[in-house]
Amino acid sequence: MSQWPKAPELRVSSWLNTDTPLSLNDLKGKVVALHTFQMLCPGCVSHGLPQAAKLAHFFQQDDLVVIGLHTVFEHHEAMQLESLKAFVHEYRLHFPIAVDAPSGGSIPITMNEYGLAGTPGLVLIDKLGQIRFTHHGTIDDMLLSKMVSSLLGEVTANDDNLNFNKDDPRSNSSGSEKCSVS
């Protein structure tokens, strides 16, 4: 039994910057950085979204997936999909962005399921699909990089690069390059 809660699946109405919808279940084996934002949130525009873009850029060769979650809990009329598309284009955001599904109330579904307090927000999900960190507000870039690097470095039983099968040719069990006690 894990001490970390399983991340709920994202409940979204639209996706931007991806050809196919992303599923957290399909992303197991990768670390996910879920950045929550609103277009009219000053902290999101000045810090959260630039930070998400930097994460996506600097960790692009690693097993990190950055997802923006546009989660609207105020000014609903001003933050429609067409406005978001223009915003994403103008701010040159290239990572996948999900639009949180409306709940019928003021708090969107995913925001509510994750218990998020507002924007900007950050949720780090480990390779097993477990929530490892949740934060409302801004966070220092260096601290975030350290946390992401730590999660990327965790070894899980599902890691493709690990194979403890003695018959695997990568295990070098030929005897010619190992020392044994006689």
Are 111 and 96 in contact, with CB atoms under 8 Å apart? Answer: no
User: pTM to 2 decimals?
Assistant: 0.83
pLDDT tens per residue across span 88-136: 999 999 999 999 999 888 899 999 999 999 999 999 999 999 999 999 9
- Residue boundaries of the structural domains of the chain: 12-17+28-153
pLDDT tens per residue across span 38-82: 999 999 999 999 999 999 999 988 899 999 999 988 776 767 899
pLDDT tens per residue across span 127-142: 999 999 999 999 999 9
β-pair partners for 151: none
C-alpha 10/C-alpha 150 separation (Å) is 24
Could you confirm whether domain 12-17+28-153 is CATH 3.40.50.261?
no
- Burial tier of 93 (Cβ tally within 10 Å: 0-12, 13-18, 19+): buried
β-pair partners for 12: 100
